[in-house]
A and B are shown apart, each in its own frame.
Chain A
Amino acid sequence: MSAGSVIGSNVRLALSNNGSVARFLRSKQGLFGVGTLLVLVLVSLAAPWISPFSGYDTSSPELLPPSSEHLMGTDDIGRDVLSVMLYGTGRTVFAGLISVLIAFCIGCTVGALAGYFGGWVEAVLMRVTELFQTLPALVLALFIVAIYGSNTVVLILVISLAIWPLEARIVYGQVLLYRSRPFVDAAITTGYRPFTVIVREILPNAMPPVMVQLSLDGGLALLYQVALNFLGFGSAKDPSWGQLMNVGQSYLSTAWWISIFPGVATSIAIVGFSLIGDAINRATSPYDHKPNIFRKQRR
């Protein structure tokens, strides 16, 4: 069973049987969040066809304000800001998503093993997790980028290293919670292997809070990606939102459009991730969709 299919089946199982999917689809926040993410993904895939100019084209006049020809103006080297943003969407969003996926795989494995086996396995893995948690994420990122250079792959790995402890701790807590449930004991006495017990019995039940954390970490990973590019640790020649903001900081008073538009896009993307997390939390919480018994009495 591949890691992808395990995650997929666990997410499906976790949401499938108690109306959580229907509640998620009924929530406006969830739909807005998913819609935002879908738009960003589609835009990043269609960037070469829908952007008015190439993201690398520097032939336009410099520092032009927004107009009908350049809807978001141009930057200091004559690139169309809208085109740079459209080309940069893929790098920003996909780097964030892949970082979260890697962080989830590491965190889920570490948290599940520590919670299930306990003893020295737990002691070693959780101390390593705490060690990573105590390191300031951005400082760690800067340190690694300074050693290994700046490119997209290094950025993705750096962001994954910064956020996996969050996933590990929440999976660890959930596994501890479900490890002592009778259905897990029943599975063990039936002769299930530890891998089967973890993957089939514990993780599907542990998923809802993990998915909430995952969506919040999506926003965090995107923010780290933008921040590292803003600080100049991304690829200098490839367009990205952070790099555009970096350029725009020198022209805040004269060419506000260079930094404002990528800043707004970053905010919307992070709000989208947060809304997905909030909607999953509400949809899977047993307390948040009870009928309001006091409503009639107030009439």
Chain B
Amino acid sequence: MSPDTTEHEYVLKVRDLTVDIRLGSSESRVVDGVSIEVHAGETVGLVGESGSGKSMFARTVVRLPPPNLEMRTNGAIEVAGYDIYELGVAELMKSRRAGTVGLIFQDPVASLNPTMRVGEQVREALQSSTAAQFTVEGLLERVGLHPAVSRRYPHELSGGQRQRIVIAIALAGNPRLLIADEATTALDPQVQRAIVDLLEDLKNDNNAGLLMISHDLEMIAQTCSRIYVMHNGQIVETNRAKELFESPEHWYTKKLIGASQRLAFGVGEG
């Protein structure tokens, strides 16, 4: 039976998570003692440079280990009331179909099956879900696309349209938690803004939690109420967005903010 998540304040609660991966004979710790919480209706940011462990954290949260990598996890992960690592394989699939979490990836081209019409991909996502409330057309309209788009293949759509389809698929099961892993990085600034606004609207409509993972501090600052800063697999600082920008404490946070401001004002060019 699906847990009643309305009674849970948190849609994501991670405690002391460590992730070790083994590739060949070498083993390395990619996530080190991370604790993160996301409330229902809240947008939380996770920032850090490339290779800091953000994406591995996201994969661990949805129990999606990279293929061909031996991964060992410690700690507790509770997503929408499910203790994800305590579930058997059948129960895990059942919880996914019940709409615990929707994951939105960075590259909208690679996130869609190139051999299927997008409408067919959305339909399959709806059919696999036990919590679906929309039709294909309804879901496409919900993410701001005309239903006629459903007959197209991914390569016939623009980057923004593709990312909207990816979001539609992630939303098919009405997930309690949406994880956007660099979901706007591959898009131009105007489309980025539109996609972020869409994610915010959808989150508010479902009273879901939204975890935005990005290295774009500016975008995270504009969108999220709380921000976690990740460096070398560890959370080095966490605060409300405003306080984090006004009085950063950790040297790495200061460096990130400084780099973001230099880019914004064009300092250091040429």
Query: Of the candidates A118, A190, A204, which one forms a contact with B115 in the assembled complex, judged by CB atoms under 8 Å apart?
Result: A204
Main secondary structure of the interface of B (DSSP, over half): loop
Q: With A and B bound together, what is the CA distance between A30 and B263 in angstroms?
A: 55
What 0/1 pattern do residues 165 to 203 of A give for CB contact below 8 A with B?
000000000001001111101111111110010001100
B218 at the interface (CB under 8 A from A): no
Please, how many angstroms separate the alpha-carbon atoms of A182 and B59 in the complex? 11
Interface contact B115-A186, CB-CB below 8 Å: no
Q: In the complex, what distance in Å separates the CA atom of A118 from the CA atom of B105?
A: 24
Q: A185-B64, A186-B103 are in contact. Are A193 and B115 (CB under 8 A)?
A: no
Offer 28 A-B interface pairs, CB within 8 angstroms, sorted by A: A13-B116, A14-B115, A17-B114, A17-B117, A18-B155, A118-B68, A176-B68, A181-B110, A182-B106, A182-B107, A182-B111, A183-B112, A183-B113, A185-B64, A185-B103, A185-B105, A186-B111, A186-B166, A187-B124, A189-B103, A190-B97, A190-B170, A190-B172, A191-B128, A193-B93, A196-B124, A200-B113, A204-B113
Query: A188 touching B115 by the CB < 8 A rule?
Result: no
Cβ of A229 within 8 Å of any chain B Cβ, yes or no, is no
Q: How far is the CA of A193 from the CA of B110 in the complex (A)?
A: 20
Are A182 and B155 neighbours in the complex by a CB distance under 8 Å?
Answer: no
- A151 interfacial contact with B, CB 8 Å: no
How many chain-B residues does the 8 Å CB contact rule pick out?
Answer: 35
Q: Please tell me if the beta carbons of A189 and B101 are within 8 angstroms of each other in the complex.
A: yes
B170 to A186, Cβ gap below 8 A?
yes
Q: With a CB–CB cut-off of 8 A, which chain B residues contact A182?
A: 105-107, 110-111
Counting CB contacts under 8 A, is A16 at the interface? Answer: yes
**Chain A residues positioned under 8 Å from B110 (CB to CB):** 181-183
Q: Type the 1/0 row for A129-160, where 1 means its CB is closer than 8 Å to any CB of B.
A: 00000000000000000000000000000000
Check if A189 sits within 8 Å of B102, measured CB to CB: yes
B172 and A180: CB pair below 8 A? no
Contact A191 B67 (CB under 8 A): no
If A190-B129, A190-B173, A191-B96 touch, whether A183 touches B66 (CB-CB below 8 Å) is: no
Decide if A196 touches B115 in the complex (CB within 8 Å): no
Whether the Cβ atoms of A188 and B64 lie closer than 8 Å is yes
Closest partner residue, chain B, to A185 (CB atom): B64
Contacts of A189 in B (CB 8 A): 62, 64, 96, 101-103, 170
In the bound complex, CA of A182 to CA of B112 (Å):
8
Q: Which of B62, B102, B107, B115 contacts A16 (CB 8 A)?
A: B115
A182–B58 Cα distance when bound, in Å, is: 13
Q: Nearest chain A CB to B105's CB is how many angstroms away?
A: 4
Contacts of A225 in B (CB 8 A): none
Does A205 count as interface, using CB distance less than 8 angstroms?
A: yes
Identify the closest chain A residue to B124 (Cβ).
A200
Query: When the two chains form the complex, which single residue of B112, B116, B125, B155 contacts A190, counting CB atoms closer than 8 Å?
Result: B125
User: B173-205, CB under 8 A of A: which get 1 and which 0?
Assistant: 100000000000000000000000000000000
- CA A189 – CA B64 in complex, angstroms? 8
Q: Which residues of B contact A201 (CB under 8 A)?
A: 113
Separation of A18 and B117 alpha carbons in the complex (Å): 12
Closest beta carbon of chain A to B102's beta carbon, Å? 7
Contacting residues, chain B, for A196 (C-beta < 8 A): 124, 128
| Interface mask (B90-104 → A, CB under 8 Å = 1, otherwise 0) | 000110111001110
A138, chain B: closest CB distance, angstroms: 36
Assembly CA distance A289 to B124 (angstroms): 33
Shortest distance between the CB of A135 and any CB in chain B (Å): 28
A190 CA / B97 CA spacing, docked (Å): 6
CB-defined contacts of B153 to chain A, threshold 8 Å:
17
B117 to chain A, nearest CB (A): 8
B140 to chain A: which residues have CB within 8 Å? Answer: none
Min CB distance B69 to A, Å, is 10
**Min distance, Cβ B132 to any Cβ of chain A, angstroms:** 10
CB distance from B162 to the nearest CB of A (A): 11
A residues near B102, Cβ cutoff 8 Å: 189-190
Q: How far, in whole Å, are A188 and B110 apart by their CA atoms in the complex?
A: 15
B217 sits at the interface (CB 8 A)? no
User: CA–CA, A165 to B115, complex, Å?
Assistant: 26
Q: Provide the bound-state CA to CA distance between A29 and B251, in Å.
A: 65
Min CB–CB distance B269 → chain A (angstroms): 33
B224 part of interface (Cβ distance < 8 Å): no
Task: Tell me the bound Cα distance from A18 to B153 in angstroms.
Answer: 9
Identify the closest chain B residue to A188 (Cβ).
Answer: B64
- The interface bits of chain B over 109-144 (1 if a CB of A lies within 8 angstroms of the residue's CB, else 0) are 011111111000000110011000000000000000
Question: Taking A182-B105, A185-B105, A186-B166 as contacts, is the C-beta distance between A192 and B115 under 8 angstroms?
Answer: no
Q: Do A191 and B116 touch (CB < 8 A)?
A: no
Q: Which residues of A contact B124 (CB under 8 A)?
A: 187, 192, 196, 200
B76 to chain A, nearest CB (A): 20
Choose among A182, A185, A200 the residue with the greatest number of B CB atoms under 10 Å from its CB. A182
